[in-house]
Amino acid sequence: MLKQYEKTSQLEKDLGSMSDESNLFSFNNILSLDEKSVFPEQQADFLYKLGLADYFIPVNLGGKLQSFEEFISLWRSIFRRDATLGLGFGLTTFMAAVSGIYFGSDEIKKQIVKTIKNQKSISVAYHEEDHGNDLLHAEVFGEVTSDAIKLTGKKLVINNAAISGGLTVFCRTSQKAGARAFSLIYVNKENCNNSTLNYHEKISTLGVRGCKISGVEFNQTSAPLNSIISKLGNGLEVTLKAFQITRATLPGMSIGIVDTALRKTFEFANSRVLYGSKILSFTHVYETLVDAYIDISISDCVSLMSARSLHVITEQMSVISALTKFYIPKKLQNTLNDLSVILGARQYVREGHENEYAIFQKLMRDYPVISLAHANDVVCASTIIAQLKYLLWNNSASFQDQSVVKKIFSLDEKLPEFDADKLSISNHGRNSILESLAYLYHLISEINNNKIIDLMNDVCLKVKSSLTKISDSLYELKYKIKYVSLIIKDFDMQAYDCVEKYCQAHVAISCILFWVYNLKKISPWFDEGIWLVLALQKINNNYIDIEKEIQKSFQNKTLINIEYLVKENISFSLVPVKFQ
């Protein structure tokens, strides 16, 4: 097993089976907490005991966060069981801590580490009622005096606002117009007058019902000057960089939700008899299951690519992180919708004793928070569109360092330590992954010629032909983009379409690169490459042509693989992890 997955394997053992009624993490326990809109406190305590909160803290600050790939994999196991727990125990704390940990002074780092070690959450306070996530219009104001910064205003829809040990607050610190009018403050509740903090009552939500989402009103809340993360006026820049880390990592964790959905839907399809047959034998049913599995495989590639790129091509993360957050949540939401059709009425019944698939309606309600929280697809698309012309027309990227790309995609290569200082708010026209198109054809030919593995010639041929189609689509895009405006007000469906096409190309290349660089390291199923061919088709069905008989055969083999994974209790991820 690849080393970075050992801890996940152990975690899966520790968390146990969801079908086991006596288990803290059983479906019925999780469902009943959700019904009552109660946070899973016991489950959170268990995670604290396992030391999982240490993963919010980098190793060099005394924590366990070393590889984002490992981090995402661990949280995926939590999300497999309960998104409420994933979000409330971890994610929002991680999102809040990231800016202080990577851009704050030593004092702030110390305080954040202390809060987390004290088993307290940290809240991330950007969102305001009238401005959503439109940061440039934030109204919460931080008045800087000679020895303090005084906050006034309201932040709403903030997870854990009332119970957290601290808040990372985005506020306006100058009345001048422009990007330097904002700062990020780490408000340590131990260091401020708590009577100036007024908490909103719990805001009830469609999903993650147990999360303690509320809001906070600051009434001249005073925080010491050294609470300013980085420098006064750096709020926007730090935020954009911190967001790169969270946008790159959050979507991959959410795959856990869909893993559970596919698992349960498969079980249903394999047991439900209609018109005298198991519905698994119906064409639309098995096609949907196969599609869902391929969607998960694709999303996994994107997530892994993103997590590892954070370490290796940190300076290119502005586009890659936006792409990850753009692509995965939307795709997996569709996957869930498609799976729900198979379940029929059983997606609609909430009670476990009436319906052993009752967890599904919770998954459906929980998942949208992944796209909603923290920049939806449109916001991410507008991040990308601003750089798209440069990315497509940058001819100076003629030298490609293959070893860089190899390091990203070879899962057995050790990742360099993450250096936040390398984050940049622009890719400056570089995308090393897409640039690999220049030599990918050759790489695949090499594989075929050297017979590194007994591959189906079919797969190699098809993948090579897709490279041409992907190139063509990028070429077309170069000219389409000339007609698209970069101003956010002008952002339209045409611009969105351009972003989508660019992302598809990047995602497709990522999938191919994973395959090329990990042969004989994962599993025979992985090496065979059927998943890759189906993935390329799913990403954009113009990328690849599959004859009808071959399509059927590939679908069949994928179905057999799904059946095997369900039976053996193995994850649907690219790198399989055995569950308890």
Partner 1 sequence: MINAILPKQFEPAQQLEFEMGCVDDLENIFGYFQILKNDESELFPEIAFRKLGEWGLNNFYVPRELGGNLESFETLFFLIRTVTRRDLSLAVAHGKNYLGASPVWVAGNDFQKKYLAKIIQENESVSLGLTEKEHGSDLMGNELTFVADKSNSGHLILSGEKWLINNATRCRAITLYGRTNNHKGPKSHSLLLIDKNQIDSNKFQHLNKIKTHGIRSVDISGIAFNNAPISKDYIIGNKGEGLEITLKSLQISRTMCSSLSIGSMDSAFHTVMSFILNRKLYGSHLYDIKFVKENFVKSFLMLLTSEALAITASRCLHVIPEEMNLISSTVKYFVPTVAEKIINNLGNILGARAYLRGFEHKGIYQKIIRDNKLVGLFDGSTIVNLQNMTTELSQVVKRISGDSFDVKKIKTIFDLDQNLPVFNPDKLSLSAKGRSFLTEIMCFSNILPDYNDLPISQNISDKSCKLIENIKSKYWLTEKVDKEKQELLEQYSWLIAITCLMNIVNSNQENLNKLYTPELKACLINSIYKLMINQEFLDQRSLNSIWELMINLYKDNKLFSLFDFSVGKSNA
- For the four alpha carbons of 184, 190, 196 and 200, in that order, the dihedral sign comes to positive
**Residue 451 interacts with partner 1 (CB under 8 A)?**
no
Among 146, 194, 195, 283, contact with partner 1 (rule: CB under 8 A): 283
CB of 343 to partner 1, least distance (A): 9
**Residue 550 interacts with partner 1 (CB under 8 A)?**
no
Residue 254's nearest CA partner among 189, 332, 307 is 332
For partner 1, the closer of residues 540 and 573 by Cβ is 540
| Neighbour-count burial for 424-463, b at 16+ CB within 10 Å, e otherwise | beebebbbbbbbbbeebeebbeebbeeeeeebeeebbebb
**Residue 376 interacts with partner 1 (CB under 8 A)?**
yes
Q: Which residues contact 34 (CB under 8 A, 6 or more apart)?
A: 84, 209, 210, 362
Q: Which stretch binds partner 1 (CB under 8 A): 44-52, 123-131, 444-452, 566-574?
A: 123-131
Residue 157 in tokens? 């829809």
CB of 148 to partner 1, least distance (A): 31
Among 496, 514, 526, 543, contact with partner 1 (rule: CB under 8 A): 496
CB of 397 to partner 1, least distance (A): 30
Residue 41 in tokens? 């406190």
Structural Rg of the chain based on CA atoms: 24
CB of 158 to partner 1, least distance (A): 11
CB of 244 to partner 1, least distance (A): 20
Neighbouring CB atoms inside 10 A of 331's CB total 21
CB of 276 to partner 1, least distance (A): 8
- For the four alpha carbons of 301, 304, 310 and 314, in that order, the dihedral sign comes to negative
- Which residues in 45-74 contact partner 1 (CB under 8 A)? none
Give the C-alpha separation, 23 to 42, whole Å: 11
On whether the CB atoms of residues 517 and 409 are closer than 8 A, the answer is yes
Among 6, 134, 472, 476, contact with partner 1 (rule: CB under 8 A): 134
**Residue 179 interacts with partner 1 (CB under 8 A)?**
no
**Residue 275 interacts with partner 1 (CB under 8 A)?**
yes
Give the C-alpha separation, 509 to 223, whole Å: 48
**Residue 162 interacts with partner 1 (CB under 8 A)?**
no
Which residue is it, tokens 């798209």? 388
Residue 461's nearest CA partner among 545, 522, 537, 535 is 545
Among 94, 491, 531, 572, contact with partner 1 (rule: CB under 8 A): 491
Q: Which stretch binds partner 1 (CB under 8 A): 55-63, 321-329, 367-375, 456-464?
A: 367-375
Among 453, 461, 488, 560, contact with partner 1 (rule: CB under 8 A): 488
CB of 533 to partner 1, least distance (A): 16
For every residue of 421-442, DSSP letters joined together read: GG--S--TT--HHHHTHHHHHH
Give the C-alpha separation, 349 to 391, whole Å: 48
Among 76, 81, 127, 264, contact with partner 1 (rule: CB under 8 A): 127
CB of 408 to partner 1, least distance (A): 32
CB of 406 to partner 1, least distance (A): 36
Among 110, 117, 120, 131, contact with partner 1 (rule: CB under 8 A): 131
**Residue 492 interacts with partner 1 (CB under 8 A)?**
yes
On whether the CB atoms of residues 186 and 227 are closer than 8 A, the answer is yes
**Residue 369 interacts with partner 1 (CB under 8 A)?**
yes
Give the C-alpha separation, 154 to 139, whole Å: 8
Give the C-alpha separation, 169 to 176, whole Å: 19
Binding mask 301-340 for partner 1 (x = CB under 8 A): ------------------------------------x---
On whether the CB atoms of residues 409 and 305 are closer than 8 A, the answer is yes
For partner 1, the closer of residues 275 and 399 by Cβ is 275
Which residues sit at the interface with partner 1, rule CB under 8 A? 35, 127, 130-132, 134, 136-137, 157, 203-207, 272-276, 282-284, 287, 337, 341, 344-345, 347-351, 354, 361, 364-365, 368-369, 372, 376-378, 488-497
